[in-house]
Amino acid sequence: MDSTYSPTEPPRAQVDAYPGATVLDFGTNWCGWCRNAQPLIAQALDAQPQVRHLKVEDGPGRPLGRSYRVKLWPTLIFLKDGQEVARVVRPSKADELRDALAKITDDVKA
């Protein structure tokens, strides 16, 4: 899994149209919370290769993060067919991510 947040973000309309399971991972490359959470996020998502994972660099004036009202980093938004079904802010336990993934996938084994 790439641990770099992309400075290029897709438009909200494109994200809303994504079929299936998607995780939006908002943060920045310099954020200590974001860097510390990467192994946990990678572990959860590596087990779910069918889930689209977008690492989006966030900050003031970034429209995608503002449209989801992101306040803290990292914030992971779990989408099913473009609709938010779960959110995890500053994950610290694998269970938090597993539970959120279970809401957007049909084959997560708890």
Please say if 34 is a catalytic residue: yes
Does position 109 have pLDDT exceeding 50, yes or no? no
Q: Are 76 and 51 in contact (CB under 8 A)?
A: no
Write the pLDDT tens digit of every residue in 24-71: 999 999 999 999 999 999 999 999 999 999 999 999 999 999 999 999
Is pLDDT of 16 > 80?
Answer: yes
Structure-token pair, residue 75: 């914030």
Q: How far apart are CA 47 and CA 49, in angstroms?
A: 6
Which of 15, 34, 64, 70 is an active site residue?
34
- Catalytic choice (10, 12, 31, 102): 31
31 assigned to active site: yes
Q: State the pLDDT at residue 108.
A: 41
What is the rounded distance in angstroms from the CA atom of residue 95 to the CA atom of residue 100? 8
Mean pLDDT, all residues of the chain: 94
